[in-house]
């Protein structure tokens, strides 16, 4: 917005119009908008100026060398020629164009400032990490010192305090205990100092050896240079990319394994249900088989009884065929006996019919069980083949 206003002012100044006369024609809203645009442009110019000042302050004195005499003369000549123009506003626009930076220069300046800010942020981050590590080390040291103080207090109360509280008249003994305790602690500290001194000496020897090895490597040219570190960084980045790819493959394999496990669990559940159904059907078949055997045994008994009844019926019919008219009383008795026999025959025939109906029912149940058993065996063979 500020650039468009500036360009409009320049074009209007080149056209010869008076800005004050043009502003007098604006209303309050237009003046407020122009003032807002000018303030925004001024703030942008202030930010650019501050950035350029920071960049200028960081420049080396070698970069601030004066221009050659030819360039100075040319610039003075150009400036004198520009002053000979008629309108002062056009001269101000030309001076502004000469003194302002180009877009490439502004982009380069912003990039340098961005790099400097990144370096400062990195430096601040490193300083923060260093301070944080220092605070952590101080806290760990304080914790270690606190633990040592608590341990020394416990040992002092155990070795000296218990004897001092256990005896009523033990002042001298308590002082001797304290002196002995302090001497033991002093000897322990001296022994610890000797150990640390020996360890420090061994570490110095190791440091000297490492320095000698490093010096030998530098003389032989085996020391890693910056190029080697850059190559290692590139290889590390490549390995990290490969690790990410392998992690993605591993994640995909885990997802596939999860789907496979779900399918496997569903098939296991189906197999378990089928096995349970097969066990139930086997039990039912066994029960029905026993029932069928019992029915067959009962049927054989009924057949035997039927055969006996038929033989008896034949015998009676034979007797009827050879029957001679008896006496009245005998006839009545025989008639009564005949009716009883006929009733018993009807009863046995009814029993035979009922037995035949039950036999048919059991045979139908047996056929159904055979069909179910055949289907179960086919399912077992099918799942076994899978």
Q: Do residues 223 and 214 lie in contact, with contact meaning Cβ atoms separated by under 8 Å?
A: yes
Runs of H (alpha helix) within the chain: 2-15, 19-24, 28-58, 69-83, 88-99, 103-156, 162-166, 171-220, 226-321, 328-385
Q: Do residues 302 and 348 lie in contact, with contact meaning Cβ atoms separated by under 8 Å?
A: no
Return the number of other C-beta atoms located less than 10 Å from residue 115's C-beta.
Answer: 10
pLDDT of residue 326: 63
Q: Where are the domains of the chain?
A: 2-122, 167-221, 267-385
Q: Do residues 383 and 320 lie in contact, with contact meaning Cβ atoms separated by under 8 Å?
A: no
pLDDT of residue 283: 92
How would DSSP label each residue in 277-309? HHHHHHHHHHHHHHHHHHHHHHHHHHHHHHHHH
pLDDT of residue 285: 92
| Mean pLDDT, 10 residues at a time, the chain of 386 residues | 44 49 72 83 82 73 48 40 43 49 77 83 89 90 89 80 55 68 85 90 90 78 65 86 89 88 90 91 92 91 90 86 74 87 91 89 87 82 68
pLDDT of residue 23: 64
Provide the whole-model pTM.
0.33
pLDDT of residue 162: 64
pLDDT of residue 79: 39
């Amino acid at each position: 917005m500020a650039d468009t206003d500036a360009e409009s002012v320049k074009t209007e100044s080149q056209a010869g119009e008076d800005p004050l006369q043009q502003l007098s024609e604006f209303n309050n809203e237009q003046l407020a908008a122009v003032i807002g645009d000018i303030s925004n442009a001024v703030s942008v110019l202030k930010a650019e100026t501050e950035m350029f000042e920071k960049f200028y302050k960081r420049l080396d004195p070698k970069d601030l060398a004066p221009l050659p005499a030819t360039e100075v003369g040319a610039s003075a000549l150009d400036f004198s020629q520009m002053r000979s123009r008629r309108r002062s506003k056009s001269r101000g626009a030309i001076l502004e164009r000469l003194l302002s930076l180009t877009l490439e220069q502004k982009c380069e300046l912003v990039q340098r400032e961005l790099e400097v800010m990144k370096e400062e942020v990195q430096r601040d981050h490193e300083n923060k990490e260093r301070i944080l590590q220092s605070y952590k080390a101080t806290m760990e040291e304080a914790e270690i010192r606190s633990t040592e103080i608590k341990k020394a207090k416990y040992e002092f109360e155990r070795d000296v305090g218990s004897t001092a509280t256990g005896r009523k008249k033990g002042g001298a003994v308590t002082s001797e205990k304290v002196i002995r305790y302090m001497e033991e602690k002093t000897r322990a500290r001296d022994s610890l100092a000797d150990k640390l001194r020996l360890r420090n000496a061994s570490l110095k020897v190791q440091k000297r050896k490492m320095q000698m090895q490093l010096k030998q490597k530098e003389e032989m040219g085996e020391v890693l240079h910056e190029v080697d570190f850059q190559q290692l960084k590139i290889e590390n980045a490549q390995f990290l990319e490969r690790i990410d790819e392998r992690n993605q493959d591993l994640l995909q394999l885990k997802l596939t394994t999860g789907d496979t496990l779900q399918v496997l669990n569903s098939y296991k559940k189906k197999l378990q249900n089928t096995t349970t159904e097969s066990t139930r059907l086997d039990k039912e078949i066994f029960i029905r088989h026993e029932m069928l055997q019992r029915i067959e045994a009962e049927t054989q008994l009924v057949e035997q009884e039927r055969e006996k009844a038929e033989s008896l019926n034949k015998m009676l019919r034979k007797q009827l065929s050879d029957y001679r008219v008896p006496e009245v009383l005998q006839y009545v008795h025989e008639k009564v006996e005949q009716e009883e026999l006929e009733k018993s025959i009807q009863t046995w025939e009814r029993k035979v019919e009922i037995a035949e109906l039950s036999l048919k029912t059991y045979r139908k149940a047996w056929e159904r069980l055979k069909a179910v058993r055949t289907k179960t065996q086919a399912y077992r063979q099918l799942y076994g083949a899978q």
